[in-house]
Homo-oligomer: A and B are copies of this chain.
Amino acid sequence: MSFGARLAQTLAEQGPLCVGIDPHAYLLAEWGLPDSAAGAERFGRLVVEAANGRAGLVKPQVAFFERFGAAGYTALERVLADARDAGLLVIADAKRGDVGTSADGYGQAWLAPGSPLEADAVTLSPYLGVGSLSGVLALAEQSGKGVFVLAATSNPEAALLQRAVLADGPRAGATVARAVFDEVTEHNRRAEGAGLGSAGVVLGATVHLPAYGIDVHADPPHPLTPVLAPGFGYQGADVRNLASIYGRLAPAVIVSESRSVLSAGPSGLAEAIANRATQAGAARVH
Protein backbone atom coordinates (compact mmCIF):
# COMPACT_ATOMS: atom_id res chain seq x y z
CA MET A 1 0.00 0.00 0.00
CA SER A 2 1.47 3.37 -0.97
CA PHE A 3 2.07 6.14 1.54
CA GLY A 4 -0.46 8.26 -0.33
CA ALA A 5 -3.13 5.58 0.10
CA ARG A 6 -2.32 5.17 3.78
CA LEU A 7 -2.40 8.93 4.26
CA ALA A 8 -5.78 9.18 2.53
CA GLN A 9 -7.16 6.53 4.87
CA THR A 10 -5.74 8.25 7.96
CA LEU A 11 -7.14 11.64 6.92
CA ALA A 12 -10.57 10.11 6.26
CA GLU A 13 -10.73 8.07 9.47
CA GLN A 14 -8.87 10.22 11.95
CA GLY A 15 -8.76 13.70 10.47
CA PRO A 16 -5.85 15.92 9.50
CA LEU A 17 -4.21 16.68 12.88
CA CYS A 18 -0.50 15.83 13.16
CA VAL A 19 0.94 16.27 16.63
CA GLY A 20 4.51 17.58 16.83
CA ILE A 21 6.97 15.84 19.13
CA ASP A 22 9.27 18.73 20.02
CA PRO A 23 11.27 18.19 23.19
CA HIS A 24 12.53 21.77 23.50
CA ALA A 25 14.60 22.43 26.61
CA TYR A 26 11.90 24.78 27.90
CA LEU A 27 9.07 22.29 27.31
CA LEU A 28 11.03 19.55 29.08
CA ALA A 29 11.38 21.93 32.03
CA GLU A 30 7.65 22.76 31.97
CA TRP A 31 6.85 19.05 31.89
CA GLY A 32 9.14 18.38 34.87
CA LEU A 33 11.50 16.27 32.74
CA PRO A 34 15.30 16.44 32.61
CA ASP A 35 16.93 18.18 29.63
CA SER A 36 18.57 14.95 28.49
CA ALA A 37 18.07 12.10 26.05
CA ALA A 38 16.07 10.28 28.74
CA GLY A 39 13.85 13.34 29.14
CA ALA A 40 13.33 13.59 25.39
CA GLU A 41 12.45 9.89 25.21
CA ARG A 42 9.93 10.16 28.05
CA PHE A 43 8.45 13.29 26.45
CA GLY A 44 8.12 11.58 23.06
CA ARG A 45 6.53 8.45 24.46
CA LEU A 46 4.02 10.50 26.47
CA VAL A 47 3.02 12.37 23.31
CA VAL A 48 2.60 9.09 21.40
CA GLU A 49 0.47 7.64 24.19
CA ALA A 50 -1.76 10.73 24.26
CA ALA A 51 -2.03 10.89 20.45
CA ASN A 52 -2.93 7.20 20.14
CA GLY A 53 -6.63 7.05 19.20
CA ARG A 54 -6.99 10.85 19.18
CA ALA A 55 -4.93 11.87 16.14
CA GLY A 56 -3.70 10.08 13.06
CA LEU A 57 -0.20 11.44 12.70
CA VAL A 58 2.81 12.51 14.74
CA LYS A 59 5.88 14.49 13.66
CA PRO A 60 9.03 14.21 15.76
CA GLN A 61 11.37 17.18 15.26
CA VAL A 62 14.72 15.43 14.82
CA ALA A 63 16.82 18.45 15.87
CA PHE A 64 15.61 18.17 19.46
CA PHE A 65 16.89 14.59 19.63
CA GLU A 66 20.08 15.16 17.65
CA ARG A 67 21.29 17.70 20.22
CA PHE A 68 21.92 14.74 22.56
CA GLY A 69 24.02 12.86 19.98
CA ALA A 70 23.82 9.07 19.77
CA ALA A 71 21.88 8.92 23.05
CA GLY A 72 19.28 11.24 21.53
CA TYR A 73 18.99 8.95 18.52
CA THR A 74 18.48 5.93 20.79
CA ALA A 75 15.64 7.89 22.41
CA LEU A 76 14.21 8.77 19.00
CA GLU A 77 14.36 5.15 17.83
CA ARG A 78 12.18 4.17 20.79
CA VAL A 79 9.72 6.99 20.17
CA LEU A 80 9.46 6.03 16.49
CA ALA A 81 8.90 2.38 17.37
CA ASP A 82 6.17 3.28 19.88
CA ALA A 83 4.44 5.52 17.36
CA ARG A 84 4.50 2.97 14.55
CA ASP A 85 3.36 0.21 16.92
CA ALA A 86 0.40 2.44 17.82
CA GLY A 87 -0.52 2.68 14.13
CA LEU A 88 0.22 6.39 13.96
CA LEU A 89 1.64 7.70 10.69
CA VAL A 90 5.06 9.10 11.54
CA ILE A 91 6.62 12.01 9.67
CA ALA A 92 10.26 12.43 10.69
CA ASP A 93 10.87 16.17 10.52
CA ALA A 94 14.53 16.02 9.54
CA LYS A 95 14.68 18.48 6.60
CA ARG A 96 17.49 16.43 5.06
CA GLY A 97 19.06 17.16 1.73
CA ASP A 98 22.29 16.25 -0.03
CA VAL A 99 23.49 14.91 -3.37
CA GLY A 100 23.79 11.47 -4.89
CA THR A 101 24.77 8.67 -2.56
CA SER A 102 24.72 11.02 0.46
CA ALA A 103 21.07 11.86 -0.16
CA ASP A 104 20.44 8.15 -0.60
CA GLY A 105 22.04 7.58 2.84
CA TYR A 106 19.44 9.87 4.39
CA GLY A 107 16.71 8.03 2.51
CA GLN A 108 17.93 4.72 3.88
CA ALA A 109 18.06 6.11 7.42
CA TRP A 110 14.44 7.27 7.51
CA LEU A 111 12.59 5.23 4.88
CA ALA A 112 14.23 1.82 4.42
CA PRO A 113 12.08 -0.93 5.92
CA GLY A 114 13.85 -2.30 8.99
CA SER A 115 16.06 0.78 9.53
CA PRO A 116 16.32 1.62 13.24
CA LEU A 117 15.02 5.13 12.41
CA GLU A 118 12.26 3.89 10.11
CA ALA A 119 9.41 6.40 9.77
CA ASP A 120 6.50 6.57 7.33
CA ALA A 121 7.71 9.78 5.73
CA VAL A 122 10.55 12.29 6.05
CA THR A 123 10.80 16.02 5.34
CA LEU A 124 13.42 17.02 2.74
CA SER A 125 15.11 20.31 1.86
CA PRO A 126 15.54 21.10 -1.87
CA TYR A 127 18.38 23.68 -1.81
CA LEU A 128 20.47 21.27 -3.92
CA GLY A 129 17.58 20.87 -6.37
CA VAL A 130 14.59 18.52 -6.23
CA GLY A 131 16.56 16.41 -8.72
CA SER A 132 19.23 15.76 -6.08
CA LEU A 133 16.54 13.98 -4.03
CA SER A 134 15.47 11.60 -6.80
CA GLY A 135 17.07 8.56 -5.11
CA VAL A 136 15.12 9.28 -1.93
CA LEU A 137 11.88 9.69 -3.87
CA ALA A 138 12.51 6.41 -5.68
CA LEU A 139 13.21 4.59 -2.41
CA ALA A 140 10.02 6.07 -0.92
CA GLU A 141 8.00 4.85 -3.88
CA GLN A 142 9.47 1.34 -3.69
CA SER A 143 8.95 1.06 0.07
CA GLY A 144 5.45 2.48 0.47
CA LYS A 145 6.93 5.58 2.14
CA GLY A 146 6.40 9.30 1.72
CA VAL A 147 8.39 12.52 1.55
CA PHE A 148 7.49 16.16 2.16
CA VAL A 149 9.74 18.58 0.31
CA LEU A 150 10.02 22.11 1.71
CA ALA A 151 8.39 24.55 -0.72
CA ALA A 152 6.93 27.67 0.97
CA THR A 153 7.68 27.62 4.68
CA SER A 154 5.98 29.59 7.42
CA ASN A 155 9.01 31.54 8.70
CA PRO A 156 9.39 35.11 7.41
CA GLU A 157 13.17 34.85 6.75
CA ALA A 158 12.42 32.30 4.03
CA ALA A 159 10.32 34.46 1.74
CA LEU A 160 13.02 36.15 -0.35
CA LEU A 161 14.71 32.88 -1.33
CA GLN A 162 11.50 30.91 -1.83
CA ARG A 163 9.97 33.71 -3.95
CA ALA A 164 13.09 34.12 -6.10
CA VAL A 165 12.34 33.56 -9.78
CA LEU A 166 13.96 30.90 -11.95
CA ALA A 167 15.90 32.48 -14.80
CA ASP A 168 16.20 29.48 -17.08
CA GLY A 169 15.12 25.91 -17.65
CA PRO A 170 11.62 24.60 -18.38
CA ARG A 171 10.18 26.49 -15.37
CA ALA A 172 11.76 29.88 -16.11
CA GLY A 173 9.57 32.60 -14.60
CA ALA A 174 8.28 30.41 -11.76
CA THR A 175 9.20 31.06 -8.16
CA VAL A 176 11.49 28.62 -6.38
CA ALA A 177 8.57 27.41 -4.22
CA ARG A 178 6.32 26.97 -7.24
CA ALA A 179 8.99 25.04 -9.12
CA VAL A 180 9.44 22.71 -6.14
CA PHE A 181 5.68 22.18 -5.98
CA ASP A 182 5.53 21.42 -9.71
CA GLU A 183 8.48 19.01 -9.63
CA VAL A 184 6.97 17.07 -6.74
CA THR A 185 3.59 17.00 -8.48
CA GLU A 186 5.22 15.70 -11.67
CA HIS A 187 6.94 12.97 -9.70
CA ASN A 188 3.55 11.81 -8.38
CA ARG A 189 2.08 11.86 -11.88
CA ARG A 190 4.91 9.64 -13.15
CA ALA A 191 4.40 7.30 -10.17
CA GLU A 192 0.77 6.87 -11.28
CA GLY A 193 -0.91 6.74 -7.91
CA ALA A 194 -4.59 7.42 -7.56
CA GLY A 195 -6.12 9.72 -4.96
CA LEU A 196 -3.18 11.10 -3.00
CA GLY A 197 0.41 11.04 -4.18
CA SER A 198 3.20 9.77 -1.93
CA ALA A 199 5.40 12.81 -2.42
CA GLY A 200 4.16 15.95 -0.69
CA VAL A 201 5.27 19.49 -0.04
CA VAL A 202 5.48 21.79 2.95
CA LEU A 203 3.32 24.89 2.50
CA GLY A 204 3.03 27.06 5.60
CA ALA A 205 -0.44 28.16 6.66
CA THR A 206 0.78 31.69 7.43
CA VAL A 207 2.12 32.13 3.90
CA HIS A 208 0.23 34.09 1.23
CA LEU A 209 0.52 31.41 -1.43
CA PRO A 210 -0.48 33.56 -4.44
CA ALA A 211 2.63 35.68 -3.76
CA TYR A 212 4.62 32.51 -4.51
CA GLY A 213 2.73 31.92 -7.75
CA ILE A 214 0.83 29.03 -6.20
CA ASP A 215 -2.83 29.30 -7.21
CA VAL A 216 -4.72 27.04 -4.85
CA HIS A 217 -7.98 27.61 -6.70
CA ALA A 218 -6.68 26.25 -10.01
CA ASP A 219 -7.46 22.70 -11.12
CA PRO A 220 -5.67 20.51 -8.60
CA PRO A 221 -3.04 17.98 -9.68
CA HIS A 222 -3.92 14.30 -10.09
CA PRO A 223 -2.95 12.54 -7.96
CA LEU A 224 -3.40 15.29 -5.40
CA THR A 225 -0.16 16.48 -3.75
CA PRO A 226 -0.15 16.00 0.02
CA VAL A 227 0.55 19.20 1.94
CA LEU A 228 2.22 19.29 5.33
CA ALA A 229 0.99 22.54 6.84
CA PRO A 230 2.80 24.13 9.76
CA GLY A 231 1.68 27.54 10.98
CA PHE A 232 -1.63 26.70 12.64
CA GLY A 233 -2.19 27.28 16.32
CA TYR A 234 0.73 28.87 18.10
CA GLN A 235 2.18 30.39 14.91
CA GLY A 236 -0.99 32.30 14.17
CA ALA A 237 -3.06 30.68 11.42
CA ASP A 238 -6.61 29.63 12.35
CA VAL A 239 -7.51 26.09 11.37
CA ARG A 240 -11.07 27.23 10.62
CA ASN A 241 -9.55 28.99 7.59
CA LEU A 242 -8.07 25.76 6.21
CA ALA A 243 -10.40 25.72 3.19
CA SER A 244 -9.76 29.33 2.24
CA ILE A 245 -5.97 29.08 2.71
CA TYR A 246 -5.51 25.88 0.72
CA GLY A 247 -8.41 25.98 -1.74
CA ARG A 248 -8.53 22.86 -3.87
CA LEU A 249 -5.47 21.42 -2.12
CA ALA A 250 -7.38 21.44 1.19
CA PRO A 251 -8.44 17.76 1.08
CA ALA A 252 -4.74 16.78 1.12
CA VAL A 253 -3.68 19.06 3.99
CA ILE A 254 -2.08 17.73 7.18
CA VAL A 255 -2.54 20.21 10.03
CA SER A 256 0.72 20.21 11.97
CA GLU A 257 0.56 21.60 15.50
CA SER A 258 3.18 21.45 18.19
CA ARG A 259 3.28 24.12 20.84
CA SER A 260 -0.49 24.63 20.83
CA VAL A 261 -0.90 21.10 22.19
CA LEU A 262 2.43 20.47 23.93
CA SER A 263 2.06 23.53 26.16
CA ALA A 264 -0.86 21.74 27.87
CA GLY A 265 1.72 19.65 29.75
CA PRO A 266 1.56 15.92 30.35
CA SER A 267 -1.67 16.02 32.37
CA GLY A 268 -3.62 18.15 29.88
CA LEU A 269 -2.10 16.69 26.73
CA ALA A 270 -4.70 14.07 25.80
CA GLU A 271 -7.52 16.57 26.17
CA ALA A 272 -5.63 19.23 24.18
CA ILE A 273 -4.99 16.75 21.35
CA ALA A 274 -8.64 15.67 21.34
CA ASN A 275 -9.78 19.30 21.18
CA ARG A 276 -7.40 20.28 18.40
CA ALA A 277 -8.26 17.10 16.49
CA THR A 278 -11.96 17.96 16.70
CA GLN A 279 -11.33 21.49 15.42
CA ALA A 280 -9.07 20.27 12.61
CA GLY A 281 -11.58 17.54 11.72
CA ALA A 282 -14.41 20.07 11.56
CA ALA A 283 -12.37 22.27 9.22
CA ARG A 284 -11.40 19.40 6.95
CA VAL A 285 -12.48 19.51 3.34
CA HIS A 286 -13.42 16.21 1.70
A: residues with CB less than 8 A from B are: 22, 24, 61, 63-64, 66-74, 76-77, 93, 95-106, 108-109, 112, 115-117, 125-132, 150, 153-155, 157-169, 171, 175-176, 179
Q: Could you say which of B71, B131, B154 contacts A157, with CB atoms under 8 Å apart?
A: B131
Please give me the 8 A-B residue pairs with the lowest Cβ-Cβ distance, nearest first: A131-B157, A69-B116, A63-B105, A129-B157, A70-B73, A164-B164, A70-B74, A127-B127
Q: Let me know if A127 and B158 touch, CB within 8 A.
A: yes
Chain B residues, CB < 8 A from A159 = 129
Query: Which residue of B22, B97, B100 contacts A125 across the interface (Cβ within 8 Å)?
Result: B97
Residues from chain B with Cβ under 8 Å of A164 in the complex: 164-167, 175-176
Give A65's nearest chain B residue, CB to CB.
B105
A63 lies within 8 A of B109 (CB): yes
Q: Is the CB of A160 within 8 A of B73?
A: no
Please give, as numbers and ranges, the residues of chain B lying within 8 Å of A63 by CB-CB distance.
Answer: 96, 98, 102-106, 109
Q: Please name all residues of chain B whose beta carbon is closer than 8 Å to the beta carbon of A171 when the two chains form the complex.
A: 160
* Contact indicator A163/B167 (Cβ below 8 Å): yes
| Contacts beyond the supplied A63-B102, A69-B115, A69-B116: 5 A-B pairs with Cβ under 8 Å | A22-B102, A69-B117, A72-B109, A99-B157, A130-B157
The smallest C-beta distance from A122 to any residue of chain B, in angstroms, reads: 11
Q: Which residue of B lies closest to A75 (CB)?
A: B70
Which residues of B lie under 8 Å from residue A97 when comparing CB positions?
Answer: 95, 97, 125, 127
Smallest CB separation, A2 vs chain B (Å) = 23
Tell whether, in the assembled complex, residue B160 and residue A166 are in contact, meaning their CB atoms are under 8 Å apart. yes
Shortest CB–CB separation between residue A269 and chain B, in angstroms? 19
Question: Does the CB pair B69–A102 fall under 8 Å?
Answer: no
CB-CB nearest in chain B for A129:
B157
Chain B residue nearest in CB terms to A26: B101
B101 touches A24 (CB 8 A): yes
Determine the chain B residues whose CB is within 8 A of the CB of A103 once the complex forms.
63
- Contact yes or no, A109 B71, CB < 8 A: no
Cβ-defined contact, A67 with B155, below 8 A: no
Contact of A161 among B106, B126, B155 (CB under 8 A): B126
Q: How far is the CB of A120 from chain B (nearest CB, A)?
A: 16
Q: Is the CB of A109 within 8 A of B153?
A: no
Among residues of B, the one whose C-beta sits closest to the C-beta of A106 is: B63
| Bound-state Cα–Cα, A116 to B132, Å | 30
A127 pairs with B129, CB closer than 8 A:
no
Chain B residues closer than 8 Å to A112, beta-carbon distance: 67
